Amino acid sequence: MQESNKSKNHLNLSEFADTVLTWQKNHGRHDLPWQKPATPYRVLVSEIMLQQTQVATVIPYFQRWMQAFPTLDSLANASEDEVMALWQGLGYYSRARNLQKAARYIVTELNGEFPNELTAIEKIPGVGRYTAGAIRSFAYDAYGPIVDGNVRRLFCRLFGIEGQATSSAVNKALWQRAEELTPQTDNRRFAQGLLDLGATLCKKRNPDCYSCPFSNACTAYQENRIEELPTPKAKKLTPTKQGHFIWLEDDALVLEKRPSKGIWASLWSLPEVLVAPKGAKLKGKFKHVFSHYKLEAMVWQLPVPGGAEKLFEALGEEQARYESSNQQITRITSREEFLALGLPAPIRVFIEENWLGTSKPSE
């Protein structure tokens, strides 16, 4: 990991916070729904949702979530199906489970009192170093250094920090910078300013360097290395995997609940099998891209005498994707039942497009 000395000669670090604060006041984002009021719980929900997800996508999900679960208690007491149904479409479903674990931890272990110190906040399930700093900054307006993807990109370009952003050396350098630069006061606006600079100006592609208050001191801009910093990840080939799902010929839609770990954990889905069942007809196909592989899925229509209860018996344990003794099976007969369950987005779309005859949910 290398860091350019050029930025140190052209950037007065003592003025860094003032520059961020002034820019945020005049050009930053001030009307995000979780900013008013910025309670610890609302900040927690927003920060977990914003992991791997754009602000514009998160806003309607956040608003629906707060209507359904306005307090820690309401989330802690909700059923898993209620939680997953509201989260469907956002992806990375472990975040939803972690949010509920966090709520239950605060309610049961902390008597419902949200902690305000960094070390205590980091003990909350699903809360890491960045999220703890964000909660302390936004909810308490207190010292809470943050480094997320936006800040990482900003700092790497500004200070000429080279090396893979995920390496321990680069990560250490970034957090050291964050700790040094974060002021002791006005932390809410400072943290928002860092995020806004990264999200609106110092973007991954086509950054608006001319509008950046740090362009004269930015190593990447001055050395014409915008595309080189942060150091790009080595490109990897994304493997393709096949998946096989069952559309049971029944008088209702038959779904199984997936295991609590793995892809689409705890969501309801068409039953998955290891290979195409004998005697099944291809009903349709769909594709879906995960972070680490591409799924090419085939849905097989299968007659099963005896209905859903005989599904795993008909398939045989060697074909069932999961042990039948651990699986929950449900039969859906109405639109209301269907919408109340959390399903993976591609499975939901396929079902909506292919529900047959009178079994289709009523409008």
Question: Is pLDDT at 25 greater than 80 in this prediction?
Answer: yes
Could you tell me if residue 47 is inside a domain? yes
pLDDT digits (tens, 9 = 90+) for 31-53: 999 999 999 999 999 999 999 99
Residue 149 shares a structural domain with residue 19: yes
Q: Which long-range contacts (CB under 8 A, 24 or more apart) does 126-134 make?
A: 126/48, 126/95, 126/98, 126/99, 126/101, 126/102, 127/44, 127/102, 129/175, 130/47, 131/44, 131/47, 131/48, 133/178, 133/191, 134/43, 134/47, 134/191
How many beta carbons lie within 10 A of that of residue 329, not counting itself? 17
Question: Is pLDDT at 190 greater than 90 in this prediction?
Answer: yes
Catalytic-residue membership of 47:
yes
Residue 217 shares a structural domain with residue 257: no
pLDDT digits (tens, 9 = 90+) for 213-230: 999 999 999 999 999 999
Residue 71 shares a structural domain with residue 210: yes
Q: Which two tokens mark 310?
A: 């005989």
Residue 250 shares a structural domain with residue 217: no
Question: Is pLDDT at 311 greater than 90 in this prediction?
Answer: no
Query: Of the candidates 156, 190, 222, which is a domain's last residue?
Result: 222
> In terms of residues, how long is the chain?
363
Could you tell me if residue 73 is inside a domain? yes
Residue 280 shares a structural domain with residue 203: no
Name residues whose C-beta falls within 8 Å of residue 223's C-beta, 6 or more positions apart in sequence: 4, 6, 160
147 versus 302: the higher-pLDDT residue is 147
Question: How far from chain centre, in Å, is Cα 40?
Answer: 19
Could you tell me if residue 33 is inside a domain? yes
Residue 185 shares a structural domain with residue 251: no
Name residues whose C-beta falls within 8 Å of residue 291's C-beta, 6 or more positions apart in sequence: none
pLDDT for position 276? 87
Question: Is pLDDT at 316 greater than 90 in this prediction?
Answer: no
Could you tell me if residue 227 is inside a domain? no
Could you tell me if residue 62 is inside a domain? yes
Q: How far is CA 95 from CA 41, 63, 269, in A?
A: 15, 17, 19
Residue 104 shares a structural domain with residue 218: yes
338 versus 30: the higher-pLDDT residue is 30
Could you tell me if residue 234 is inside a domain? no
Q: Comparing 127-136, 173-182, 258-267, which segment has the lowest mean pLDDT?
A: 258-267
- The answer to whether residues 315 and 303 touch, using CB atoms and an 8 Å cutoff, is no
User: Which amino acid is residue 182, in one-letter code?
Assistant: T
Question: Is pLDDT at 324 greater than 80 in this prediction?
Answer: no
Residue 284 shares a structural domain with residue 353: yes
Question: Is pLDDT at 327 greater than 90 in this prediction?
Answer: no
Could you tell me if residue 230 is inside a domain? no
> Average pLDDT of the chain?
89
Rank 30-34, 166-170, 338-342 by mean pLDDT and report only the highest. 30-34
Query: Of the candidates 193, 222, 251, which is a domain's last residue?
Result: 222
Domain of residue 44, CATH code: 1.10.340.30
Q: Which two tokens mark 349?
A: 């779309």
Please pick, among 3, 47, 256, 272, the residue that the annotation labels catalytic: 47
Residue 247 shares a structural domain with residue 197: no
Domains: count for the chain: 2
pLDDT digits (tens, 9 = 90+) for 81-134: 999 999 999 999 999 999 999 999 999 999 999 999 999 999 999 999 999 999
Residue 174 shares a structural domain with residue 252: no
Domain of residue 309, CATH code: 3.90.79.10
Query: Of the candidates 191, 222, 253, which is a domain's last residue?
Result: 222
Residue 20 shares a structural domain with residue 124: yes
Could you tell me if residue 192 is inside a domain? yes
Residue 327 and residue 12: Cα distance in Å, rounded? 60
Name the residue range of residue 106's domain.
Answer: 6-222
Residue 217 shares a structural domain with residue 244: no
Average pLDDT over residues 147-174: 94
The pTM assigned to this predicted structure is 0.86
